[in-house]
Amino acid sequence: MEQRSCRAWAVEEFGAAQLGDARRRARLITMATRVAQNPGGHVSSVFRRSAERQGAYDFLESKHVVAEAILTAAVDATNRRAADFPFVFVPLDGTSLNLADLARAKDFGSVGSRERGARGLKVVDAIALAPDGTPLGIATMKWWARGQRASRNRGLRPAAEKELQHWLDAVEAVTDSMKRVAPDTRAWFQIDREGDAQYLLEKLAASGGLFTVRSQSDRKLSTTGTVLPGAGRHPEKRRRYLRPYMYRRPPVAHELLEVPARGDQPARLACVVIRTASVVLHMCEKLTSKHRTLPLNIVWVCEYGRGERARSRSGKTTSRALDWMLMTNHSIDTLEDIRAVVHGYTQRWRIEDFHRAWKKGACNVETSQLRAREHVVKWATVLAAVAIRAERLKHLSREQPHAPATTELSPREVEALILLKRRYRKKNEEIGDQTPDLETATRWIAELGGYTGRASGGPPGTTTIARGLAHLHIAAETLDAIKSPSRSD
């Protein structure tokens, strides 16, 4: 984006970073500004001027700059924006960065299948979303490097010795930071099947926030806290499991649910049947053989009248049918409560969009050639904040299409965009002087980045938007230099 608008964002995001020296904070703000203007995974491709490039390397390699301080500044900025809402959705997920380490000399670890020998870093991260799904920023990031050998007896180790501990730390970090910056806002965690673990469920229940976790396994139900039909006189001998129990529950609603496009699967409408229940889970800790119970509400969303795979109108197999067994501590007393739970879980996909923009799309963090874990984490944190910003623009262009473009772009930026559009317009297009709406401006920006606008391609994505923003920045900066030649950089 144009320099002044990008700098205002960078100041808001990292202006409170506690780096021990005002000059380091100024360098971080300058770096974030340049990355927002020209996203990329290579430091050398982001910074065109040699002095800025060397300054960025010095900052990332400095022992006086701690990655946690950069993250804390970004998280606090997110929570200040979250303070405007009674709650925010917090999708929590794990991913990995596959990084170059051909000589295996960097302090990275194994990622993916150990047999393939890929190297990189693992991270559990979370983002915050407004109740309408608008991205607000990073909520936490927990990094680590895996060992080269898989640990034995994984089921008989305490949580502190498992990768699960990073998930627990992430929940605690989000909860603590929100209590500190936005005490009147509750986090509503949204977690996929990977988070269906006893320790994590107990941590979420004790956090004081809301959570929705998709069940991975068919969990046992406690016979003392759940009314089980047909249990007879000896319920302890007829223990029930969650899925068979939910099958017997009557439907509470039939809904149409929008399923977004994913990969080569097109967006579609799914007709789902919803069942609910309040149950008490029975859990046994393998390490100590202790039995515990956990009361939860269940919302089961199952695609109605379909087999294992759903089909489009043409009859072509497109995607798996929806089958979400959602465990939550949110109320399910009314239909609006139930819809809120379902809507919240659909927002979990936002973190997958963020990962694509961060790792492969707009920011290409996996192309980084930095040589140390700490250096990569610092750089990746800045890129993550920029990726969230690009996701925000994409979301607003779809959800608030008629808002003026100046809500997200500077006046100089809009002026440059109109000039570029006139130059590359189609023969039948007429481009006036009026400010375009956000949807139109975003489409024009994406066209600069290679978006074709074909009907089968869907709306612009983060990658083409980010590419277009890089072109727009150059045009806006040139226009600003022509009209304000005396202004120093």
Q: Taking residues 322-340, report their average pLDDT.
A: 96
Q: Which of 309, 328, 347 is the last residue before a domain boundary?
A: 328
Q: Measured between alpha carbons, how far is 128 from 300 in angstroms, rounded to an integer?
A: 25
Residue 35 inside a domain? The answer is: no
Domain hosting residue 465, numbered range? 400-483
Question: Which domain CATH number covers 426?
Answer: 1.10.740.10
Residue 273 inside a domain? The answer is: yes
Of the candidates 310, 303, 306, the one whose C-alpha atom is nearest the C-alpha of residue 324 is: 303
Distance in Å from the first CA to the final CA of the chain? 15
Q: Give the CA radius of gyration of the chain.
A: 25
Tens digit of pLDDT for each residue in 352-408? 999 999 998 779 999 999 999 999 999 999 999 999 988 888 888 888 888 888 877
| Cα–Cα distance list, 127 to 169, 171, 293, 296, 320 (Å) | 15, 12, 30, 24, 26
Residue 136 inside a domain? The answer is: no
Residue 289 inside a domain? The answer is: yes
- Above 80 in pLDDT, residue 313? no
Which amino acid does the sequence have at 266?
P
pLDDT computed for residue 292 by the predictor? 87
- Above 70 in pLDDT, residue 435? yes
pLDDT computed for residue 400 by the predictor? 82
Backbone angles phi, psi at 64, to 5 degrees: -85, -10
Residue 34 inside a domain? The answer is: no
- Above 50 in pLDDT, residue 234? no
pLDDT computed for residue 3 by the predictor? 41
Q: What percent of the chain has pLDDT over 90?
A: 52
pLDDT computed for residue 489 by the predictor? 44
- Above 70 in pLDDT, residue 156? no
Q: Taking residues 79-84, report their average pLDDT.
A: 96
Q: Which of 328, 345, 366 is the last residue before a domain boundary?
A: 328
Helix axes 462-483, 3-14, angle to 10 degrees: 120
- Above 80 in pLDDT, residue 449? yes
Q: Comparing 58 with 291, which gets the higher pLDDT?
A: 58
Residue 140 inside a domain? The answer is: no
For residue 110, give every residue at least 6 positions away whose Cβ sits within 8 Å of its Cβ, in sequence order, or none: 117, 118, 119, 146, 147, 148
Of the candidates 304, 392, 341, the one whose C-alpha atom is nearest the C-alpha of residue 190 is: 341
Q: Measured between alpha carbons, how far is 75 from 141 in angstroms, rounded to an integer?
A: 9
321 and 231 in a common domain: yes
pTM of the model: 0.86
Half-sphere exposure (CA, 13 Å, Cβ side) for 33? 20
- Say whether 320 sits in a helix, a strand or coil: strand
User: What's the structural domain count of the chain?
Assistant: 2
Quick one: CA torsion of 388, 393, 394, 397, rounded to 10 degrees?
Answer: 160
Question: Of 89-93, 282-286, 287-291, which range is least confident?
Answer: 287-291
> Which residue's structure tokens are 């979400």?
324
Q: Taking residues 55-63, report their average pLDDT.
A: 95
What does the block give as tokens for 351? 């973190």
Q: Taking residues 283-289, report their average pLDDT.
A: 75
pLDDT computed for residue 2 by the predictor? 41
Q: Taking residues 250-258, report their average pLDDT.
A: 91
Q: Which of 55-59, 153-157, 259-263, 468-472 has the highest mean pLDDT?
A: 55-59
DSSP assignment, residue 454?
-
For residue 305, give every residue at least 6 positions away whose Cβ sits within 8 Å of its Cβ, in sequence order, or none: 271
- Above 90 in pLDDT, residue 79? yes
323 and 222 in a common domain: yes
> What sign for the dihedral angle of Cα 298, 304, 307, 312?
negative
pLDDT computed for residue 155 by the predictor? 59
- Above 80 in pLDDT, residue 35? yes
pLDDT computed for residue 84 by the predictor? 94
For residue 76, give every residue at least 6 positions away whose Cβ sits within 8 Å of its Cβ, in sequence order, or none: 16, 177, 181
- Say whether 228 sits in a helix, a strand or coil: coil
Residue 309: pLDDT band with limits 50, 70, 90: very low
Which amino acid does the sequence have at 375?
H
Mean pLDDT, all residues of the chain: 86
DSSP assignment, residue 78?
H
Residue 242 inside a domain? The answer is: yes
pLDDT computed for residue 278 by the predictor? 95
pLDDT computed for residue 425 by the predictor? 80
> Which residue's structure tokens are 């990329």?
40
Residue 404 inside a domain? The answer is: yes
Q: What share of the chain is helix, strand, coil (3-state, %, to 5)?
A: 45, 20, 35
Question: Of 254-258, 265-269, 480-484, which range is least confident?
Answer: 265-269
Q: Which of 328, 346, 364 is the last residue before a domain boundary?
A: 328
405 and 319 in a common domain: no
